[in-house]
A and B are shown apart, each in its own frame.
Chain A
Amino acid sequence: MIEFSLWDIIRHLLVGGAWTVALSLIAFISGGIVGLMVLIARISPRPLFARLAKAYIEFFQDTPLLMQLFLIFFGIGLLGVDISPLLTAALGLTLFTSAYLAEIWRGCVESIAHGQWEAGESLALSRWQQMRFVILPQAVRIAIPPTVGFSVQVVKGTAVTSIIGFMEITKTGSMISNATFRPLLVYGLVAVGYFIICFPLSALARQIERRLHAACSR
């Protein structure tokens, strides 16, 4: 058996932590792009698009992330293509993130008074121009705190990808724990790792929200 010093454990966890951060960034950025498309479909005046987007959002919000990952992992395997855990994790988390962000952002867009759309229309702006120049600039402001807050959920979601074998911090932790028989220490450190990533994000979300609130009530 190899001896692990405390420093060895931390060193390995840091590598896993880097993968957690990388995967979270991939999921958040690509999820944001897909989420924007889902949002546009969701608030589209065409009922078919709106309904499809609604079904998409409900599917991802009402089924476990783990099942979504399993379906991608085994579903794509059926097509005869071998898919790596990283690709599965990135794809699964992107879809998951996009559904939640689309729904969060829909709330923000709908909180903009309807008269704003009408004002845009009376200025002969196309629907896309109304969205781009009138609604989005206002909605983005409201959307920042819940979006930052949701990024915490994305980071925590990456933990589930350890089950399909992606080597992020949780998977690294369980391997080290099995090798060293020190689960309390190792999982404690893993939890601290997540806390270090997530706490600043939640604090930031709270702070922006407070500032926005103060600005609105002034």
Chain B
Amino acid sequence: MSYQFSIEPIISNWEVFVEGALMTLLLTGLGSAIGIAAGILGAVSRAWKLRVLYPVYTVYVECIRNTPFLVQLYFIFFGLPAMGVKLSGWEASFLAMALNLGAYSTEIIRAGVMSVPRGQLEAAESLALSRWQTFRFVILRPALKNVWPALCSQVIIVMLGSAVCSQVAAQELTYAANLIQSRTFRAFEIYAFSTLMYLLLALAVRKFLHEIGRRYIDGRTA
């Protein structure tokens, strides 16, 4: 069988690809923002053993980290409507990503929070910093700084994991690829090209997060 690699279906559908990639980025951006916020709350409750939140977060983290993202997504999208909570594919994907990242970032940030030496807290107290100031400047920032690379990797993993959101009809990059594939029957070219797009997205997001870390987490830069 002779096979001709054809670039034509990619060029004629470039807008669909770009739209899909933007949706993937949007999904990742929103999911990460909420996920990391949930992670900060979780890290603090786990590190300081807060009364109600500690057991809740422990169960949540273990459940999410020991089940696949795809099953969490199916549970939310197909399962929850039976309980009267009906979500669109887009909403379900977003919720699943935020929940998933929340569990992982809880553990990542907790490691950072626990690495802050006790003496730092005493120093903050002796400087008469308020509790909020202590938390913000003495605990959270150094903690995030320590674990930022791990957190970035986790965001990338969640973004790549979002490829399966096409299964609940969230219109991201893989959905776009599937759509074009079903129109042109050029499966290999389409998937090779979308793989390349994911690769570029991952590199770009990593660079972006690295830059954010350098500017806002590492603190004073020239």
With the chains together, A198 CA to B199 CA distance in Å?
29
> Chain A residues with Cβ under 8 A from B195's Cβ?
63-64, 67-68, 70-71
Summarize A's interface: helix, strand, loop or mixed.
helix
The reply to whether B71 and A74 form a contact with Cβ atoms under 8 Å apart is no
Q: A64-B160, A71-B191, A152-B66 are in contact. Are A183 and B82 (CB under 8 A)?
A: yes
> Chain B residues with Cβ under 8 A from A74's Cβ?
187-188, 191
The one of A65, A159, A184 that contacts B83, using a Cβ cutoff of 8 Å: A184
With the chains together, A59 CA to B68 CA distance in Å?
22
The one of B80, B160, B174, B191 that contacts A184, using a Cβ cutoff of 8 Å: B80
> Chain B residues with Cβ under 8 A from A88's Cβ?
none
The reply to whether B71 and A62 form a contact with Cβ atoms under 8 Å apart is no
The reply to whether B163 and A188 form a contact with Cβ atoms under 8 Å apart is no
The reply to whether B68 and A71 form a contact with Cβ atoms under 8 Å apart is no
Q: A62-B199, A63-B202, A159-B70 are in contact. Are A71 and B79 (CB under 8 A)?
A: no
The reply to whether B79 and A183 form a contact with Cβ atoms under 8 Å apart is yes
> Chain A residues with Cβ under 8 A from B191's Cβ?
67, 70-71, 74
How many of A's residues come within 8 Å of B, CB to CB?
40
How many of B's residues come within 8 Å of A, CB to CB?
38
> Chain A residues with Cβ under 8 A from B188's Cβ?
71, 74-75, 77-78
With the chains together, A195 CA to B194 CA distance in Å?
32
The reply to whether A174 and B74 form a contact with Cβ atoms under 8 Å apart is yes
Q: Does B58 reach chain A (CB closer than 8 Å)?
A: no
The reply to whether B82 and A64 form a contact with Cβ atoms under 8 Å apart is no
The reply to whether B203 and A62 form a contact with Cβ atoms under 8 Å apart is yes
Q: Does A115 reach chain B (CB closer than 8 Å)?
A: no
The reply to whether B62 and A187 form a contact with Cβ atoms under 8 Å apart is no
Q: Does B65 reach chain A (CB closer than 8 Å)?
A: yes
Q: A177-B78, A199-B62 are in contact. Are A170 and B71 (CB under 8 A)?
A: yes
Q: Does A45 reach chain B (CB closer than 8 Å)?
A: no
Contacts of B77-117 to chain A: CB distance below 8 A: 78-83
Q: A190-B71, A191-B72 are in contact. Are A63 and B198 (CB under 8 A)?
A: yes
Q: A71-B188, A184-B83 are in contact. Are A64 and B174 (CB under 8 A)?
A: yes
Give the distance to chain A from B67, nearest Cβ to Cβ, in Å: 4
> Chain B residues with Cβ under 8 A from A183's Cβ?
74-75, 78-79, 81-82
Q: Does A30 reach chain B (CB closer than 8 Å)?
A: no
Q: A62-B202, A63-B198, A66-B164 are in contact. Are A191 and B174 (CB under 8 A)?
A: no
Q: A63-B202, A64-B161, A163-B167 are in contact. Are A156 and B78 (CB under 8 A)?
A: no
Give the distance to chain B from A20, nearest Cβ to Cβ, in Å: 10
> Chain B residues with Cβ under 8 A from A130's Cβ?
none
> Chain A residues with Cβ under 8 A from B70's Cβ?
159-160, 162-163, 170
Q: A152-B66, A170-B74, A198-B66 are in contact. Are A67 and B167 (CB under 8 A)?
A: no
Contacts of B137-182 to chain A: CB distance below 8 A: 156, 160-164, 167, 174
With the chains together, A187 CA to B96 CA distance in Å?
14
> Chain A residues with Cβ under 8 A from B163's Cβ?
64-67
Residue among B71, B187, B194, B198 having the largest count of chain A Cβ atoms under 10 Å: B71
Question: Can you list the 3 inter-chain pairs with the closest CB atoms, starting with the nearest?
Answer: A159-B68, A64-B163, A198-B66
Q: B residues touching A (Cβ–Cβ < 8 Å)?
A: 1, 3, 62-63, 65-72, 74-75, 78-83, 156, 160-164, 167, 174, 187-188, 191-192, 194-195, 198-199, 202-203
**A-B contacts, 20 listed (Cβ < 8 Å):** A64-B163, A64-B195, A68-B195, A70-B191, A70-B195, A75-B188, A75-B192, A152-B66, A155-B68, A156-B68, A156-B69, A159-B71, A160-B68, A163-B164, A173-B71, A184-B83, A190-B71, A191-B72, A198-B66, A202-B62
